[in-house]
Amino acid sequence: MPNPTAAMLVIGDEILSGRTRDGNTHYLAGQLTQQGITLAEARVVADEAPAIIAAVNALRGQYDSVFTSGGIGPTHDDITADAIAAAFGVGISHRADAMALLAAHYERSGMEFNDARKRMARIPDGAKLIDNPVSTAPGFILGNVHVMAGVPSVFQAMVATVLPTLTGGAPLLSQSLRVHRGEGEVAAPFGALAAEYPDLSMGSYPFTVNGAHGTNLVIRGSDAARIDAAMTRLAALFPA
Amino acid sequence: MPNPTAAMLVIGDEILSGRTRDGNTHYLAGQLTQQGITLAEARVVADEAPAIIAAVNALRGQYDSVFTSGGIGPTHDDITADAIAAAFGVGISHRADAMALLAAHYERSGMEFNDARKRMARIPDGAKLIDNPVSTAPGFILGNVHVMAGVPSVFQAMVATVLPTLTGGAPLLSQSLRVHRGEGEVAAPFGALAAEYPDLSMGSYPFTVNGAHGTNLVIRGSDAARIDAAMTRLAALFPA
């Protein structure tokens, strides 16, 4: 049975303007791979409702699960929760359990629980909250869409909460061989080997060190014995 | 007149598996912003023809220009050129000018110009080559789609070749104010100011230093005088 599939949707003008470099996609990719879930696509869209709605609806229909990051804070440009509600055609309101969490948090920290902060308790109807152990304001799950914060420490904590609840597949394993030859030289035998192992994914990644060209040859799959067999063949093709 | 729009399409299993962290999107974002071109969307897809074709056709219809990175090397997993040809419904073959460039390069470097390396001269019919001053194998432009290498140094060199040929708009300018208050505290006055300047884009980005919360408030737009005016108001709202 093929592994479950997932998509990442990064929401934020600051990524597209070049102000901030997204790291959440790379983090999620590593976590999903360990869990045996195939990250099949990632997208970045601006803080604009039509763009968010279109992307969420395209991705949630195409993949088993969707993860979003960004746009769930207290300011006017945080429109993710409203856009997700619109994408699902459901209502959204300040929810009592989220309000209680935030009220207790601001009480403890001696800060005013003002209208802006109350916005973070706006949750689409029917959603399940995702715990935020870092800064309290929750994420949420609606259908197969997991809505999480953009701040990396919060995003990572939410991923840690959510991942164990998902059904994974066989973890994706990989082995690699570093050869001191250019990609163009290894391409033919490497391609022929890949054709013999259609159940494995083989990729080549060139590198340059001190002006010398080399290639990392990577074999990925979920069957450790098959990868071992292919690696033995690969090592024989390119002896050190 | 609104600025021209662009999309980035990153092609590569290694990004989605978490092996490699994409940096080309962030680089392109900064370059486009300086040129007054709005990067409106970015996507990452696997080295699979149907995924590449669907993404290219969706993006080239929706935005003024599209930039791709990855999958134009000599190995079996380098299928971008064929996928782009399929997306446009045109043929693809070893093109004479690309063959000549590569033949001269391998002649100079004393390496065999073998079949794998000749694959890098496969160019869709009607495309224009993009110079590769780093490692010779060219990118190409077909319609509004700019097909470039995934290796960052080559990608960056190709962006430098291509960008001056594109019609830009007014460069996106930005100013930011660092305030030592949480997002929830600045949200209401900042949102009210944003509503007064609908021609500018205002975003807030929380940070934590030594346990203290602060927020970077960023104002973006193409009219320097309007940004100055808004920044003066912003600074008055949040005196140091």
Only one residue has tokens 């709605």, namely: A53
B32 to chain A: closest CA residue = A17
Query: Of the CATH numbers 3.10.100, 1.20.140, 1.10.1740, 3.30.70, which one belongs to the domain with range B173-237?
Result: 3.30.70
Distance in Å, alpha carbon of B206 to nearest chain A alpha carbon: 8
- Closest Cβ–Cβ partner in B40, B41, B116 for A184: B116
Does the pLDDT value for residue A209 go beyond 80? no
* Contact yes or no for A185/A174 (Cβ under 8 A): no
Does the pLDDT value for residue A83 go beyond 90? yes
Compute mean pLDDT per 10 residues along chain B, 240 residues long, and list them.
92 95 98 95 97 98 98 95 98 97 94 95 98 94 98 95 88 91 93 95 86 89 94 93
Taking CB atoms and an 8 Å cutoff, what residues of chain B touch A190?
A: 75-76
Strand (E) or helix (H) holding A41: strand A38-45
Q: What is the pLDDT of residue A170?
A: 83
- Sorted by where each begins, the domain ranges of chain B are 5-165, 173-237
Residue whose C-alpha is closest to residue B142's, from B63, B84, B223, B211: B84
Cβ contact (<8 Å) for A119 and B187? yes
| Digit-coded pLDDT (tens) for A90-128 | 999 999 999 999 999 999 989 999 999 999 999 999 999
Does the pLDDT value for residue A59 go beyond 90? yes
Cβ contact (<8 Å) for B195 and A14? no
Q: What is the pLDDT of residue B169?
A: 82
Cβ contact (<8 Å) for A16 and B39? yes
Cβ contact (<8 Å) for A183 and B26? no
Residue whose C-alpha is closest to residue B189's, from B234, B240, B226, B239: B234
Average pLDDT over residues A25-51: 96
* Contact yes or no for A47/A12 (Cβ under 8 A): yes
Q: Which amino acid is at B41?
A: E
B46 to chain A: closest CA residue = A40
Average pLDDT over chain A reads 94
Which candidate in B76, B115, B174, B178 is best for mutational testing of the A interface (most A CBs within 10 A)? B76
Pairing outcome for strands A145-148 and A65-69: parallel
Q: How much of chain A exceeds pLDDT 70, in percent?
A: 100
CATH class name, domain B5-165:
alpha beta
Global confidence as pTM = 0.92
Pairing outcome for strands A173-179 and A212-221: antiparallel
- Closest Cβ–Cβ partner in A17, A25, A38 for B29: A17
| Digit-coded pLDDT (tens) for A60-79 | 999 999 999 999 999 999 99
Q: What is the pLDDT of residue B1?
A: 66
